[in-house]
Amino acid sequence: MANAYLALDLMHLEHRVQRLQRQVERREWRNSRDPFSLHDDEFIDLFRLSPDAARDLVDSLTLSLERQQPYGLSAETQVLTALRFYATGSYQGAVGEEWELGVSQPSVSRCVRAVTRSINELLLRQWVYFPMTAEERYSAVQKFRDARQPFPGTLGAIDCTYLKIIAPKEYEEAYVNHWGDHTLNVQAICDPDLKILNINARYPGARHDAYVWSNSAARRAMERNFTYGERNTWLIGDDGYALEPWLMTPLKNEIRGTPRFQYNEELCAAGSVVERLFRVLKGEFRCLSQQRQLMYDPVMSGMIANACAVLHNMRIAHRLDNAVDAVEEQGRIHRVNEEPLLGEEENANQRRAVAQRIQQSLITRHYGRH
């Protein structure tokens, strides 16, 4: 019996020694290989940011990541590990085993969580912000007016996209969309340059686009500005949204060649930038792709979407927005109008009547009379 216990102890000791040896080998591997020595194009292909942008990101997150110190990796290694995961969406050993990183699978998971939290806490509001001041809103309207596919009075284009996640342990049925997948329904607003002005990744996939919009901070901001007298600015969306004074949507069954038909054509053309945004974003960051599934709870999955939005805007600021070709997502999600809540039906009808007058005035001014 004593010999059996001794053999077991020796086995455990040998296992610990082997584990320590692997840790030392990984550390030596990381120290001997510097990803920043790669050619810029190769670095961007791997991490989606340029070396300069990645260094800026590391500098912004270093204090937060070093303060946590959960696993002894440098802030630089943590950031590059998370960037590689966002770029590939592969789980997760493949990320850590790549020669540039040399990080174990458990450490990859911890890096993704730590970096994602730090980006959300420190950089989200800095890089993804909705135009709130009069100057910002004027600039946003001018950008859409001068766009390749213009639409007057537009601050941004809005739509939602599904983000696949693992089935959550709580309220699992709420995350099943009409295709039967477990998802978040992620709302985004963007400008003609595909810069993300607002992202809302908190709602489960069973919620319709109109519900996400009705409960969003961006809608409250638009309504508040309308209440304070702003009458000639709006967002543009598809027919999954209800017409509101601050949200222009397409008309149905209009006759070709009429002003109302022309309004539809230009609104839909201008609004298509948000669909392009989703294709580009999911092509840049494959962890968000329809062919992937985030193996995280809904809260962390939403934070990963936020982090990718920050990195996407950083790419635009560093003029990297064309470095990765967009990959078309398969199929188009059918949008369903959300019914107004019973207590809000009267207010919804009043808003719609006001919105219809604004819509008709817009059509008359810019596209002529019937």
Q: Average pLDDT of 299-307?
A: 98
* Residue 309 in tokens: 């939005």
Average pLDDT of the residues in 179-207: 97
Mean pLDDT, rounded, of the chain: 85
Cα dihedral: 104, 110, 115, 118 (round 10): -160
Percentage of the chain with pLDDT > 90? 72
Residue 312 in tokens: 């996407």
Predicted local distance difference test score (pLDDT) of residue 72 = 76
- Confidence at 1, pLDDT banded by 50, 70, 90: low
Query: Angle at Cα 77 formed by Cα 71 and Cα 78, nearest 5°?
Result: 60
Where does the pLDDT of residue 326 fall: very low under 50, low under 70, confident under 90, or very high at 90 and above?
very low
Tokens of 362: 């817009």
pLDDT of amino acid 164: 97
Largest CA distance in the chain: 98
For position 275, what pLDDT does the model report?
97
The domain segmentation of the chain, as residue ranges, is 23-122, 131-367
Q: What is the mean pLDDT of residues 174-180?
A: 95
What pTM was computed for the model? Answer: 0.84
pLDDT tens track for 220-239: 999 999 999 999 999 999 99
Average pLDDT of span 124-141: 96
State yes or no: pLDDT of 370 exceeds 80: no
Which pLDDT score, from 0 to 100, does residue 98 have?
Answer: 54
Q: Which two tokens stand for residue 63?
A: 């204090």
Strands 154-164 and 234-236: parallel
How much is the average pLDDT of 280-297?
A: 95
Asked if the model's pLDDT at residue 321 lies above 70, the reply is no
Would you place residue 328 in the very low, low, confident or very high pLDDT band (cuts 50, 70, 90)?
very low
357, pLDDT greater than 80 = yes
Tell me the per-residue pLDDT of 22-73, one tens digit each, with 9 for 90 and over.
443 444 444 446 899 999 999 999 999 999 999 999 999 999 998 766 567 8
d(CA 82, CA 63): 17
**DSSP state string for 290-347:** TT--B-S-HHHHHHHHHHHHHHHHHHHHTT-TTSS---PPSS-PPP-PPPPPGGGHHH
